[in-house]
Amino acid sequence: MPARSDAFSLIAIATLILGFDQLTKFALVSEIIPRQGHSRLDLVGGLIGLEYTENRGAAFGLFSGVTPVLALASIAILGALLLNYTRQRQPPLWHTLAVGAISGGAVGNLLDRVRLGYVIDFVSIGLWPNFNVADSAITVGVLVLLWGWLRPEAGWSRARTIDQEG
């Protein structure tokens, strides 16, 4: 089991990301878009903007129409990630940050799926599919996790779990 401070840090990171994700989605739907009178607000010369979209699939809109399956998959993956995290006695900081970011983002998108039946995406950059704060947190968290696991001095193969120390 991680130290209490590690668990607190993970929960704090996840909660901050979840709160910011839900706050930005709420602000977009209730304030920004209604005041503009249309679903897009250009910010940086049309290259970057806020554009309301409903993503009924997974990343890039893939697997549209299977919201219950996506919700269950999110819960299963998040559960496995947290189980792995809790098996470490002293998770490194990068692991706490990554799992906190992924957890907060996953719960943010999961709340949308359960409550609305779709995920609200709104950041628009060029031709890239729209995304949101939760998507960004998940992406950064996965990249940090991969970076940490692939480093020879602190990687997956050297992570010591409670069972191994036993």
The one catalytic residue among 21, 42, 121, 163: 121
Ramachandran assignment for 62, one of left (phi > 0), alpha (psi -120 to 50 degrees), beta (any other): beta
Residue 135 among the catalytic residues: yes
The one catalytic residue among 6, 21, 112, 135: 135
Q: For residue 23, give the DSSP letter.
A: H
User: How many whole angstroms separate alpha carbon 20 and alpha carbon 43?
Assistant: 20
Residue 21 among the catalytic residues: no
Contact 96, 159 (CB under 8 A): no
- Is residue 137 classed exposed, middle or buried when 0-12, 13-18 and 19+ CB atoms within 10 A define those classes? buried
Q: What residue type is 91 in one-letter code? A: P
Indicate which residues carry an active-site annotation.
Answer: 121, 135
